[in-house]
């Protein structure tokens, strides 16, 4: 039996609705406005590395 992931929003998001949530397994992201919608599978270490290196800009 597969455990359902627990999700968390960034503490920086406050009460804003336009947020993403990260699964406790650190391998999936989802839109907080649509929790039953699609999920993006990610390699969190590679994603954070790309952000730190300036390869992904906000």
The whole-angstrom separation of Cα 42 and Cα 58 is 17
The pLDDT, as a whole number, for residue 57 is 78
Structural domain contains residue 1: no
Structural domain contains residue 32: yes
The pLDDT, as a whole number, for residue 56 is 87
Other CB atoms closer than 10 Å to residue 7's CB: what's the count?
Answer: 16
Domain count of the chain?
Answer: 1
pLDDT digits (tens, 9 = 90+) for 13-51: 767 667 889 999 999 999 988 989 999 999 999 988 999
Q: In terms of residue numbers, what domain contains 27?
A: 7-52
Q: How many CA atoms lie within 13 A of 47 on its CB side?
A: 11
Structural domain contains residue 57: no
The pLDDT, as a whole number, for residue 38 is 95
pLDDT surpassing 70 at residue 12:
yes
The whole-angstrom separation of Cα 46 and Cα 12 is 21
The whole-angstrom separation of Cα 4 and Cα 30 is 14
Structural domain contains residue 58: no
pTM score, whole prediction: 0.71
What the block records as the tokens of 15 is 């009460």
Structural domain contains residue 14: yes
The pLDDT, as a whole number, for residue 21 is 92
Structural domain contains residue 26: yes
């Amino acid at each position: 039996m597969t455990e359902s992931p627990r999700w968390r929003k960034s503490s920086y998001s406050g009460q804003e609705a336009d947020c993403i949530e990260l699964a406790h397994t650190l391998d999936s992201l989802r839109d907080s406005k649509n929790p039953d919608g699609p999920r993006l599978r990610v390699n969190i270490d590679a994603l954070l590395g790309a952000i730190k290196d300036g390869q992904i800009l906000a």
